[in-house]
Amino acid sequence: MTTICEREELVLDLLRSGRDLADSDLAPHVATCAACADLVAVASAILDEHHTITHDASVPTSGVIWWRMQRRMREEAVRKATRTMTVVQAISIAATVAIAIAIVGFKTLAGSIDKIHLPELATLAPWTLPLAIALTACLALAPVAIWLGLARD
């Protein structure tokens, strides 16, 4: 910072400390130096505004701060759980689609190959379709169960 007067820093320090300029030994200098007089005018206005703002500032009570912190932590937990549920749903949908494609592909493959005798899907495991339905329902309802478990309010 380039200064025009070498006493500007001293004048500014005096104003920042809150001491009265008239009681200091810099008062005669400020009266004769134009740069220091401008500095006093500008810095006094800024410091007065600063003191007014800091005096009028309302600090919330500790209870309000605690409540805000608890609310923020709860919201972050909900965001994390939502992200987890979205991932679980995406994986369950992908697994369901993969199982469906595998079943349809197996059935199509079994019908198209005449030389190799493959048993029907129903004779391989009669419980395959109910198991697939139950697994799909569990995977689809898991995010809802997680959400209900985390919703305490």
Give the DSSP per-residue string, 20-80.
-GGGSTTHHHHHH-HHHHHHHHHHHHHHHHHHHHHHHPPPPPHHHHHHHHHHHHHHHHHHH
The most confident of 9-13, 18-22, 70-74, by mean pLDDT: 70-74
Q: Take residue 35 and report the two structure tokens written for it.
A: 């740069």
Q: Which residue ranges make up each domain of the chain?
A: 8-56, 62-150
Q: Take residue 30 and report the two structure tokens written for it.
A: 């400020």
**CA dist., res. 55 & res. 42, Å (int):** 20
- Interval 109-128: pLDDT, tens: 555 655 555 556 556 566 66
Tell which wins on pLDDT, 62 or 85. 62
**CA dist., res. 109 & res. 102, Å (int):** 10
0.75 surpassed by pTM: no
- Please count the residues of the chain: 153
